[in-house]
Structure 1
Amino acid sequence: MQQSNIKKLWDGVQDLVNLKTLNLCESKQLTELPDFSRAPNLEEVHLYKCLSLHSVHPSILSCQSLLTLDVSDCEKLESLEKKLESIDLVYCGNVEKLQVLPMGGFTKLRRLVIEEGERLRSLPIRELCGLTNLEEFKIRNFQQEINTGEMRSLFDAWHNLKKTMFG
């Protein structure tokens, strides 16, 4: 359903046992997502360029099988909370707080991309150090200073890191 003019998918809860991928990319009028608590096999959610989307429904973020969330260019998105394998926060200028790394949820994340996140106030350094499987880390237009000791602790923890970009 990518590039649709839909604002809302449905009301209430739907049984979506077989749903593995949700692709609503470039649905620029989408403002909200319904309850996905009955989508236990949901693995990928692609919301690239959903320009009116302001938050991701908590039920999506609590799906145990969710591995990838792409919210690139979701300009109105304000916050996220979840443990994933891949998170793309590209041109998400309203994100002020990165809460994607709850304690104990560090085993899966392999890719973290943060671009044009000029409102992001800080990086959770201690939690980021727990991402021992991280293979790719990119950050661009981050306004806060990261001291050398924090950087050293990050790179000491990231044994699997293959690709990084700071700018």
Structure 2
Amino acid sequence: MKAPLILGLGITFFFFVPLGIYTNIFPFVTIGLTGAGLSFTLYSLKIKNDWKGFNRLQKLPFIGSSVVWIYRLGILGLGAVALYSATSFWADSPAYIKKNYAKIEGIPSKIVYEKATLKSQIEGTITVIINNKRLSIAPNPHYPIKNNVEGRHFLINYLPNTEWVMDYTIE
């Protein structure tokens, strides 16, 4: 497999991560981080000094192959960080598949609004602290969160390792 193709795959998988976070789809983030990490790691190991882009760099004076190694280590580091981040998502995968979520309930001691709104509904993510546990809740369009949630009872189901909120009820 050629190096540009591996880099393209890594970038494609890397786009799965924000898509999964924005749409609240857990498998997109898990597969995206894993695919990007593996692709970037393979790409950094696959780079040869005779690849066209690096051939031009090595011909420049005072640069030589040190830039190629710095570039290679940077891409390898990016792949390692992506793979390390994916481990907690893979640890939560059995709980996600079996729908065996951790639960927390109670009245939040503190609520932080990401984006203040003038409407009667909250648009941005809110962070609640219940029993010294901080969880971020993204409002679901089907179940919008009203502005007056202070002092109300929350029941939140979340994944234990990533603290990804799966569903919630506000009474």
TM over 0.5: no
- Bigger helix share: 2
Please report the TM-score for the alignment, with normalisation by the length of structure 1.
Answer: 0.21
Alignment TM-score, normalising by the size of structure 2: 0.20
The structure having more radius of gyration, on CA atoms, is 2
